[in-house]
Structure 1
Amino acid sequence: MTARTARGLAATTLAAALITGAAACSKPSEGSADGSAGPDAGTSAVVGIATEPESLSPLLGYGKDGNSKIFDGLLAHDADMKLKPALAAALPQVSADGLTYTYRLRPGVTFSDGTPFTAKDVVFTYRTILDPKTNNASRSELDALAAVEAQGTDGVVFTLKYPYAPFAERTVLPIVPEHIAGRQDVNSGEFTTKPVGTGPYLLTGWSKGEKLSFRANPSYWGGEPAVKKFTMAVIKDDDVRATRLRSGELDAAVLPPNLAKGFEKDTRRKIHAATSYDYRNVTLPTHHQVTGDLAVRRALDIAVDRKAMVDKLLEGAGKPAYGPVPTGSPWFTAGTERTHDLAKARAILDEAGWKPGEDGIRVKDGIRAAFPLWYTSGDKIRQDHALAFASDAKKAGIEVTTQAGTWEVIEPRMKTEAVLAGGGSPADPDFDQYLLLTSSLGGDGFNNMARYANPAVDQALETGRKSGDPAARKTAYDTVQRELVKNPGYVFLTHIDHLYVVDDRWDGLSTQVEPHDHGLGTGPWWNVEAWKPKK
């Protein structure tokens, strides 16, 4: 899905950020409570992330793809992204018609306040998310769910409206305690910032814009983690994050390829790569007089040099993107790759009446082929992609003016102005494509930011979502990808491999295939509860 990501911090504030950061997260050598030295050496970790959530309540969307450190879902993903039991004692029993999923719950699990976890908490969680009064932007992801009922204290039955093939993937969604969250305003109550869950860690503090602090849950059903203190330092600027990692203030960080490369010869740290479904794309708003023109969209789609972006901007850590589905996925539609063809792009514009002006920028009916492209401040990968896109567009006679801003600045402009956006979900093609492309969600926050509307795509998305037949689903998503060639509402640029630099002090580190949002729940710390200090 196209999601809210890091709100930028301009690179010009580097010095101020370092001062603030030093206060928020002392160097390990100073033996701070959040550091990795002193009496806590080997049992604490500080990692630098680029994003933070707006809320820590799963009822509002937090942790919906799993890997929350505070909560658990009925199921979870292992290192190979296969589903495994979590709060459920086993994988669900599914009826022959695919309409009923029955879960038995793991015995003896308690919330961190000592209250037993039961089926009523599962029922409360799902029913609350489905309640229209709940401000959960991802409610449509549970569109297939007709009812959820408890069977005693240890059984839960989900009944579907149609045989939604990936439903089990939706049950990685974190479960909240009814006895706490049910007594508050779901949208604004204290639970949104002071959550209570069943997960391996307890939140001990959240300084918004600075850090989230955790301590190990001694009563965690999976065993108390060896990393006793865990801190996520929110550092939105890539350069600042790299500087703080190099200075020793951080034990690990997510970094763009060009900055991660600077740690290749560092014998104290290792670079961990994670393949991902994370793409970068340019929204082409249909409500803009230039980007709303089909010829302009088609021309831009082949004017961009995706391979050059991978080679130069990502230093090979990624692949060209032709849609939300990566080329290596079994869901990718062969033949939808777009070849960089500047001559053809110019021909498309010529035929549509976009003629070069005296300055080389095309004009049609008195309208210049020009539009702004926004990207989030401090995000070097987005900045580089935006500049490269603008350079390629200009060669075709289209003027793109890049502008940096925070999401507060960008969001009100999304209806008519282009954005260097991102998204991607590996679990199932429905998860990303429906939110990105269905016309019913056009302009719904960060869903379908381009307000793309294509009846053939809408129909295919519904078929892919509601069919239980794998072959029918593949045909449906093939249709979506082929339609994006004919009528692109977005120009997809690259799929990005995520890179992390981590102090070489722990065993048990690994990475998964990752979604777009790789903040709290992904990276080598997706399983921090399983890390062990090296001996």
Structure 2
Amino acid sequence: MLVLADAQPLGEYNPINGYGELGVSPLYDGLLRPQSQSDNTIPELVPALAASQPISNPDHTVWDVALREGVNFHDGTPLDAGDVVATYRSVLDQGTGSEIAASYDMIDTVTAVDELHVQFVLRYPYADFPARLLLGIAPSELIADGPARDSQLNTQPVGTGPYILTELRPDQAVFKANPNYWAGEPEVTNLVLTYEPDDNTRAQHMRSGALSGTVIPPLLASSFTDPAVSIVAVRTADWRGVSLPSTNPFTSDERARIALNIGVDRDSIIEHVLAGYGEPASTPFNDVYGDSYNPHAVFDYAPEEAKRILDDAGWISAADGIRTKGSHRAEFTLMYPASDTTRRDLAHAFASAVQPLGIDVSLHGATWDEIERHAQSAAILLGGGDKPYSIDTQVYETLHSRSPNTPTYSNPANFTIPGVDEALESARRSTDPHVRTAAYQQVQDAYIQHPTHVFLAFLDHTYATTDNMSSPEFC
């Protein structure tokens, strides 16, 4: 038996609302799943519930997927094309209020050609569509009308995945191996996932031997000396950064946003806050994307230049050291989830870094519900890059101006960067890799001139594990 601990609440296991969207879940499978070769490359997407790779027409507007035969859901009902159709249609149905609907708005229709053949017709060419085929598939019989948040799948999930939920409490979920799993019964027959939001408590439980594995912040990971506990660090494209409000007189000034970006020593933050487990980020583009990554699109640390830019912009130091322009002060509130110690520490480091520039950042730890209410008026210590399987899924929603279905924390200030919307659309819709590469290079060049965030770092994901566990796959 493995006992894992996570900082995220348990439940909400409905794929219609995004659970299992990344293709890695104990409960659900997608048509495809990610298969990582190394930390330095994008994971390859390989068939899961699909029998083979999806096939598209030449302009990537029609995608055909053949389903694997002989797959059953946990309740014994067979998987067929109707289940895939029902799952995707429910995500797109405005009545479900799916939080991930915007990620699938390129889909025009999804139909069952026969029992084991699904066809997706898109609104426009989209070469990266396979990255949208990771969504966990649920039985059509259990996909009900109405809000996804109210579905019984949140607490009584039924999927095709390697584990079956047998018990759910607020602090613990118990899973047993699926003996009829299409890929073979898992070696670990019992899995317990506990909810423990406090990082130090999870670390203590690892030291005491109560846990087999857990996700753990970098600073805590660096403190482990027990030879029975191994620290596993995985390089990622998962970024942390500060969104800046467009309604604040200071952060609405583009020159102020440039000064903030060059006034922060990212290398120092990575050393002292992340214990070296990370890489500097100036944009959400990571070098894992090869030729599309622009190594010159960076903000070099230049605090004196930052001060000069602020002076030239009319933000002049007052008697108390904080800059002013007319009746406005160079100040804003930075919110972060209070339970996340890494974001807390990054927020404090950011505020300390810009204080010598004459900028006053007030810090406010809160719940996500409270942060959401202030998403457009406050700066937020955000994270992204949780969908790194294509550049489009990595950067589109973060840098594109908002639409009605855009998630709350994607470009919350609704900045529009000159030329970027058009370049992102061109890259998304083109079938020519050279056109796409050029468009993404253009996006990065434009962002450096017109920044909307202060991206700080790409995190290494750090885990603590015991000897009886090779990796915390579902942690």
Structure 1 and Structure 2 fold alike (TM over 0.5): yes
Mapped contact 1:274–1:497 kept (Cα < 8 A): yes
Instruction: Compute the displacement of 1:161 (Å).
Output: 2.3
- SS of equivalent residue, structure 1 residue 275: strand
Write the mapping of 1:173-252 to structure 2, written as runs, cut at 5 A: 173-182=135-144, 186-208=148-170, 210-252=171-213
Instruction: Compute the displacement of 1:201 (Å).
Output: 0.6
Counterpart Cα distance in 2 of 1:140 and 1:189: 20
Residues 340-349 or 176-185, more deviating:
176-185
Q: Which residue of 1 is the match for residue 40 of structure 2?
A: none
Counterpart Cα distance in 2 of 1:421 and 1:171: 26
Q: Which residue of 2 is the match for residue 67 of structure 1?
A: 24
Q: Which residue of 2 is the match for residue 476 of structure 1?
A: 439
> How many percent identity over aligned positions?
39
Say whether residues 1:495 and 2:428 are aligned partners: no
Say whether residues 1:301 and 2:301 are aligned partners: no
Instruction: Compute the displacement of 1:211 (Å).
Output: 2.6
- SS of equivalent residue, structure 2 residue 257: helix
Say whether residues 1:448 and 2:396 are aligned partners: no
Q: Which residue of 2 is the match for residue 353 of structure 1?
A: 314
Return the letter of the residue paired with 1:90: S
Say whether residues 1:271 and 2:219 are aligned partners: no
Return the letter of the residue paired with 1:437: L
Mapped contact 1:53–1:62 kept (Cα < 8 A): no
Counterpart Cα distance in 2 of 1:172 and 1:152: 21
Alignment size in residue pairs: 467
Mapped contact 2:399–2:420 kept (Cα < 8 A): yes
Counterpart Cα distance in 2 of 1:329 and 1:239: 35
Say whether residues 1:89 and 2:51 are aligned partners: yes
Counterpart Cα distance in 2 of 1:104 and 1:483: 41
Q: Which residue of 2 is the match for residue 168 of structure 1?
A: 130
Return the letter of the residue paired with 1:447: S
Q: Which residue of 2 is the match for residue 46 of structure 1?
A: 3
Corresponding residue to 1:128 among 87, 90, 95: 90
Residues 251-260 or 432-441, more deviating:
432-441
Counterpart Cα distance in 2 of 1:410 and 1:186: 22
Q: Which residue of 1 is the match for residue 400 of structure 2?
A: 438
- SS of equivalent residue, structure 1 residue 307: helix
Instruction: State the Cα deviation string for residues 230-258 of structure 1 (Å, max 9, x = none).
Output: 12222222112111211222111111122
Instruction: Compute the displacement of 1:454 (Å).
Output: 2.2
Mapped contact 2:415–2:452 kept (Cα < 8 A): yes
- SS of equivalent residue, structure 1 residue 344: helix
Mark the CA change 1:432 to 1:52 in structure 2 (over 3 Å): closer, same or farther. Answer: farther
Counterpart Cα distance in 1 of 2:73 and 2:81: 13
Return the letter of the residue paired with 1:105: L
Return the letter of the residue paired with 2:157: P
Say whether residues 1:285 and 2:285 are aligned partners: no
Counterpart Cα distance in 2 of 1:478 and 1:166: 17
Return the letter of the residue paired with 1:445: T
Residues 445-454 or 268-277, more deviating:
445-454
Q: Which residue of 2 is the match for residue 525 of structure 1?
A: 473
Instruction: Compute the displacement of 1:183 (Å).
Output: 6.9
Instruction: State the Cα deviation string for residues 195-252 of structure 1 (Å, max 9, x = none).
Output: 11110011123323x2322111111111111211112222222112111211222111
Mapped contact 2:273–2:345 kept (Cα < 8 A): yes
Residues 400-409 or 322-331, more deviating:
322-331
Counterpart Cα distance in 2 of 1:459 and 1:95: 24
Instruction: Compute the displacement of 1:404 (Å).
Output: 1.2
Corresponding residue to 2:343 among 376, 382, 396: 382
Q: Which residue of 2 is the match for residue 421 of structure 1?
A: 382
Instruction: Compute the displacement of 1:53 (Å).
Output: 6.3
> What is the aligned-residue RMSD (CA, Å)?
1.8
Mapped contact 2:65–2:119 kept (Cα < 8 A): yes
Corresponding residue to 1:157 among 96, 119, 129: 119
Mapped contact 2:375–2:408 kept (Cα < 8 A): no
Q: Return 5+ residue gaps in structure 1 as ranges.
A: 1-43, 511-523, 529-535
Instruction: State the Cα deviation string for residues 134-173 of structure 1 (Å, max 9, x = none).
Output: 2112212222222211122111111222221111121111
Q: Which residue of 2 is the match for residue 23 of structure 1?
A: none
Q: Which residue of 1 is the match for residue 353 of structure 2?
A: 392
Instruction: Compute the displacement of 1:481 (Å).
Output: 1.4
Counterpart Cα distance in 2 of 1:181 and 1:398: 51
Q: Return 5+ residue gaps in structure 2 as ranges.
A: 38-42
Q: Which residue of 2 is the match for residue 402 of structure 1?
A: 363
Counterpart Cα distance in 2 of 1:185 and 1:240: 35
Mapped contact 1:276–1:498 kept (Cα < 8 A): yes
Instruction: Compute the displacement of 1:286 (Å).
Output: 0.5
Instruction: Compute the displacement of 1:259 (Å).
Output: 0.9
TM-score, normalisation: structure 1: 0.84
Counterpart Cα distance in 2 of 1:183 and 1:480: 39
Q: Which residue of 2 is the match for residue 27 of structure 1?
A: none
Corresponding residue to 1:111 among 64, 73, 77: 73
Counterpart Cα distance in 2 of 1:166 and 1:316: 33
Q: Which residue of 1 is the match for residue 216 of structure 2?
A: 255
Q: Which residue of 2 is the match for residue 513 of structure 1?
A: none
Instruction: State the Cα deviation string for residues 70-125 of structure 1 (Å, max 9, x = none).
Output: 11111111232211111111112222232222111111111111111101111111
